[in-house]
Amino acid sequence: MSFTKKLKVVWFCGFTNSFVQEKIKPWRKVGEIAPWISSLISIFEENEHIELHVISQHQWIASYKFFENKGIYYHFYPRGIPLIGKHWPNFLRLDFWTGYYKTKRWMKTLIKKINPDIIHMHGVENEFCEAIYQFHNKYPVFITIQGFISKSTLNTRIINNNKRRELELLQLFQNFGYRTETMGREIKDFNSKANLFWHGYPVKIVDTLNKEKKFDIVFFGRVTKDKGIIDLLEAVSVLSKEISSIKLCVIGGGNLELFKKIAQRLEIEDSVFWTGFLPSQNDVFDLVAQSKLCVLPTYHDIISGTIIESLFLELPVIAYNVGSIHEVNKNENIISLVEKGNIKLLTESIRELLSDEKMRTIKGKKGRKRAIEMFEEDNKNIINDLLLAYNSIIKEFIK
């Protein structure tokens, strides 16, 4: 489809990567955040149909930072204490108490300066989403769902505020991006009048890696209770009574000291290898490929990058049956799905796969084939899908 007018598009998001940090030079470097945003930006570089402005908060900067690269305009405003850019201490969350006043002001100033044809916000679960209310009915707004924080088991003032905001935004706005059938149905459950536009985020087609298997199980991603790390540790504890040499590799950052204490209490501290945050995807993939299977008993998710990457690497996957994960099994049993919170069944599923190398090989090959089927074609259509969504939403707005 041809598009005649070059659109001026603003993205609201929260992301960073090493390239960004080389440009804006924060006081402290942080790990990559939201790599799917970086991947999506890359396919719009030098695009003839869109003038793209990306607006994001950033840690450890004290003032607004701007740069342009390959036709993309980057705008970063400070997250944290004004003028010095340091984190808010837990006892003094003025950002939260003021309803994220500074974030709203930054967004208002930048939108007035850019004057976009459309605002595209990625996610409804983050603090920067508080700024989108002020643009309701003033600009065309498109919101891509990244996940549903309302499904989180965490219960803090800030998390509960995010849950409240998520519900309000899903009901107030009308145009939403989705990338799984289940996600589309869940949006409609919140807002029956919602307009849905399919688009994906670029998925890297990972090559298989032939590595000696040093670990029985790998868990990678954010190491949190919601991702099911405690459930997995309990399952490994049971299995360690039968398989004294069992090894679990845990890759990722989080409150590792807390989970190490749990492993110690379960008497499996010698069975778990904790890597912490790894600087590159290649480092992660190298360790994942040294594992026999991936287990991700997440309590809520869409289809996690952990699962997608494991499928491409030909690792069999065990996961709780939540979110859109079951869509991988649309045609046949690829992922071993377990009822959420059922640690006994989780343990049995791990035991079954660890004891059957042939089954692991079959599931691994079928998993890679299914991943290519699901994501290779989507990768080709992302730009066109978003252009169609933008033009449709703008056309409806100006009627």
Please write the tens of the pLDDT for every residue from 208-230.
888 999 999 999 988 999 999 99
Q: Is the pLDDT of residue 3 over 60?
A: no
The mean per-residue pLDDT over the stretch 224-249 comes to: 96
**What pLDDT, on a 0 to 100 scale, did the predictor assign at position 1?**
46
- The architecture (CATH level 2) of 215-375 comes to 3-Layer(aba) Sandwich (3.40)
The mean per-residue pLDDT over the stretch 204-211 comes to: 86
d(CA 235, CA 271): 12
Please write the tens of the pLDDT for every residue from 248-304.
999 999 999 999 999 999 999 999 999 998 877 888 999 999 999 999 999 998 898
Task: Enter the pTM of the model.
Answer: 0.90
d(CA 98, CA 173): 23
- The architecture (CATH level 2) of 7-202 comes to 3-Layer(aba) Sandwich (3.40)
Span(s) in the chain for CATH 3.40.50.2000: 7-202, 215-375
